[in-house]
Structure 1
Amino acid sequence: MAAASFDTGLGLEGSHVLVTGSSGAIGSVVVTAFLSAGAKVSAFDIKRPRVAVDHVRLRSYQVDVTNESSVDKVMEMASASFGVISTCIAVAGLDLSFAPHHSLADMSLHDWQRIMQVNVDGTFLTCRAWLRGIREFATTNTKNISAVVFGSEAGKFGVPNCAAYAASKAAIQVGLVKSLARDAVSIDPRCRVNAVAPGPVDTSQFRNECANDPTALWREAQATVALKKPVAVEAVARACLFLASDNYAGNITGQVLPVDSGKSGSLFWLADGQDA
């Protein structure tokens, strides 16, 4: 008896994928992942790429995702180049490693607003421009109509010395995702919206932090993590591929996918009794 046929491909070939934060440690790997899957990629970042990548299916744009007119203008340019943006991967944000760390009692309103502006407003403007493009340009042949926004473990567990970052990620991965998932299907019934919530990711910045603080690795990626290790950047990129693919995640929307090596909670105290 012949084995039954089962398509295990991602089915992302030819889809136009937007990746914001494309020059960052995670965003650059996400770009590579989608190019490897056969997609056309528009890469948005406020900075120019550290290493220029020459690829026939890649276009890079310098854009500030908090600037409304700039986002709309560059989104139109990207659509003119590769056609309708079917898939939006909103990586851009002010990472916890670079956010000001203060007790809430000492945090300035400016610092709070800046984190919210980049992480929440930037994600909103990106998703809004993507959804408007779907409404205007999507056809019955458009596949993989989905958005994947970047939350964080902080949006679930909180951060004792950076409440603004945790609040911004909770807003994105819960309030925005749950609401937009219900809204988007009124624009196109195939629209899906999900979030990835990485734990500590094994970037060069995280390794530098661990080198400067002997307790950081144990505290952030071992003591409360089932796999006792940080998350590989490639694992985060593969989660984005999975959620973007109609073949694999066609019935998944309004969800948060933890990519955190099994993080189970916050550490309140170190082994020596000091605050974590």
Structure 2
Amino acid sequence: MRLAGKKALITGAASGLGLRISARFLEEGAQVLMTDLNAEALRLEAERLGAPFIAHDVTSEAQWAAAVDAAREDLGGLNILVNNAGIGPSGTIEETSLETWRQCHAVNLDGTFLGCRAVLPLMRETVTREGSRGAILNLSSIAGVIAGANMAAYNSAKAAVRHLTKSVALHCAREGLPIRANSLHPAFIDTPILDNFLKEGSDRAALLDKLGRQIPLGCVGEPDDVAFAAVYLCSDEAKFVTGAELFIDGGISAQ
């Protein structure tokens, strides 16, 4: 029960990493408000896990306000924010349209900015009232550290998330708030986002094998590899860790 008593809002929670992080947080004793743009998938998964939920477009300032209100009503406050919602379009600088560029940054970067800004007043109120600690965890990517020729928009957005996280961490520290901010940087993880790499008629197992050969450990990661790291960084075990990034990349960044 490493998150006992914690109240968490997790975006992009209907599938992939967000769903697995939600499940792990619940297992570790947290209350969790699950949010996602896909309202029907979210409803099914949240009801299965027994968690409150709200449909949520992370690019909308108004919907962030509604999500914070839901956290206040359903959880009684907020200790943890996990900005997980994201998209992963591929494309070189010449192949990427302005529309794709803007959409990628709107979801991955603007959504993270809006989330951090929206939750801080409630998180400040909660930790002050409870005498507890808070944590913001932003999902970046190893692609925010190591660039690829075919991921121009994604590289840019995820690199910005990395640096934004540090700014949030320093702001909270300067304000004297017991609220930390850190980022996670996974490499290839076996989630639906990898389907973006599938070409017509290609086999997913072959894709996983191909991606795994690019990783020193020889395989792609599993969602729990990220979920367990999220539990640590959002728990009081990491009370002296802020403005940091954790690479979950099978050794790619060590090369």
TM-score, normalised to structure 1, is 0.83
Residue correspondences, number: 250
Q: Larger radius of gyration, structure 1 or 2?
A: 1
1:75 is aligned to: 68
Q: Which string of whole-angstrom CA distances, capped at 9 and with x for unpartnered residues, describes residues 92-143 of structure 1?
A: 011x2xx1x3321232211111111111100111111111212344325243
2:223 is aligned to: 233
Match of 1:120 among 89, 103, 109: 109
Q: Which string of whole-angstrom CA distances, capped at 9 and with x for unpartnered residues, describes residues 145-191 of structure 1?
A: 01010010111111211211011000001x20111110012445311
Q: CA RMSD in A?
A: 2.4
The 1-side partners of 2:48 and 2:4 are apart by 15
Task: Return 5+ residue gaps in structure 1 as ranges.
Answer: 1-8, 267-276
Moved more, 63-72 or 141-150: 141-150
Which one has the bigger helix percentage? 2
Over the matched positions of the two proteins, sequence identity in percent amounts to 28
Match of 2:138 among 149, 157, 180: 149
The 2-side partners of 1:53 and 1:146 are apart by 22
Q: 1:218 Cα deviation (Å)? A: 5.2
Match of 2:55 among 57, 62, 69: 62
The 1-side partners of 2:206 and 2:19 are apart by 29
- Written as runs of structure 1 = structure 2, the 5 A alignment for 1:213-228 is 216-217=207-208, 219-223=210-214, 225-228=215-218
Question: Do 1:135 and 1:187's aligned partners in 2 also have CA atoms closer than 8 Å?
Answer: no
Q: Which letter maps to 2:105?
A: M
The 1-side partners of 2:234 and 2:114 are apart by 19
Indicate yes or no: 2:155 matched with 1:162.
no
1:198 is aligned to: 186
Question: Do 2:78 and 2:123's aligned partners in 1 also have CA atoms closer than 8 Å?
Answer: yes
- With over 3 angstroms needed to count, the CA separation of the structure-2 counterparts of 1:71 and 1:205, relative to structure 1, is closer
Question: Do 1:135 and 1:188's aligned partners in 2 also have CA atoms closer than 8 Å?
Answer: no
SS at match of 1:88: strand
- With over 3 angstroms needed to count, the CA separation of the structure-2 counterparts of 1:38 and 1:219, relative to structure 1, is same
Task: Return 5+ residue gaps in structure 2 as ranges.
Answer: none
Q: Which letter maps to 1:261?
A: G
Q: 1:23 Cα deviation (Å)? A: 0.5
The 2-side partners of 1:188 and 1:49 are apart by 40
The 2-side partners of 1:14 and 1:44 are apart by 20
2:168 is aligned to: 180
Indicate yes or no: 2:121 matched with 1:132.
yes
The 2-side partners of 1:226 and 1:135 are apart by 41
- With over 3 angstroms needed to count, the CA separation of the structure-2 counterparts of 1:56 and 1:139, relative to structure 1, is farther
